[in-house]
Amino acid sequence: MRLSHEDGTLVHVSYNAGVHPAEDLENLIAHLTRYAVPVRRRLGVDRLGIGLWLAPAVADHLTADRIELVRLRRSLEERGLEVVSLNGTGGRGMGQDSPGPDWAKPERYRYTMALAKILAFLLPEDVRFGSISTIPIGWRRDWPADLHAIASRRLDRLSRELRGLHSVTGKTIRVGFQPWPGCVLETTEQVVRRVCGIDSEYLGVCLDACHLTCGVEEPGAALRGVADAGATVVKLGHVHNHTGEVPGTESILENTLAAILAGPGSGGAHIEVEAHGLAAPAKGKGPAALVAALADELDWTRRNLTAFGLKLAA
């Protein structure tokens, strides 16, 4: 879904399609038909955003065969779907819930750049910015200085390659690092210092609404730190209706959206609704149960955003 901020900025709302992963292109398209299209119809919108998770084998296939990449884009267009963001956390031979290789390993860089090239092609013609979420470097345990130096060199190379991709395609693809407890990057401040210090335009922060809501970080301080450093909020992920569970979700959504729109890299705000927690309750009830749950979560997000003054956009 697209919404418009009063300053004209487009806010793209999608759901994390990793809730029904596919290890090949055929199944990926089938899942979009079975779930995403009915969700779009249930919401009554002409266009629905999908936060795709692509298995490494699928990413390799699409970058090696342009005809298949064209096929995926046409499949999305025919179904009223659009992709402005990819989930880049999974690694080779790993599921979408596994962190996969860390940033000291070449597989992580190759996978991320493959996703960047794919996303640059999948972006709608009128959208210039795409986002990819990735892991917070790696696990903190057993992370010696030499690995940090290797990871930093890979991020520097990633920055250069993303700039080169922009010069060729005209599309800006940003990679957002999501802080997580127990990892090299546990806090937003660490992401800003270690990642955005390398490149604050193409590398940024992927903020996790659950992470902020649950008090892992003080939301106001985290958001101010991003703004003060001139860093980019690449994506707000894990947006989820916590009513009855954890209070304050609406304020987190509002304040984080404000931070994204105020950031130096603004040109479009990407919000991804979390869907993994919906799969288990819907299991065994058929596709309709998951479709209904996904539509309800997206509708909750839409209602909160419009309450902030955003308008539905064509």
d(CA 91, CA 99): 7
- Residue 146 pairs in a beta bridge with none
What's the one-letter identity of residue 291? Answer: V
Q: Which residues of 274-308 are buried (b: 16+ CB within 10 A; e: fewer)?
A: bbeebeeebeeeeeeebbbbbbebbbbbbebbeee
d(CA 35, CA 289): 10
d(CA 162, CA 59): 17
Backbone angles phi, psi at 86, to 5 degrees: -125, 150
- Tokens 């199944």 found at: 27
| Confidence at residue 215, expressed as pLDDT on a 0 to 100 scale | 61
Tokens of 5: 């901020």
| Confidence at residue 92, expressed as pLDDT on a 0 to 100 scale | 44
Helices (H) and strands (E) in the chain, counts: 12, 10
Residues of the chain scoring pLDDT < 50? 91-97, 244, 246, 265
| Confidence at residue 162, expressed as pLDDT on a 0 to 100 scale | 98
DSSP three-state, residue 141: coil
| Confidence at residue 93, expressed as pLDDT on a 0 to 100 scale | 42
pTM: 0.90
| Confidence at residue 94, expressed as pLDDT on a 0 to 100 scale | 43
- Picking from 302, 304, 260, 272, the residue whose alpha carbon sits closest to that of residue 9 is 260
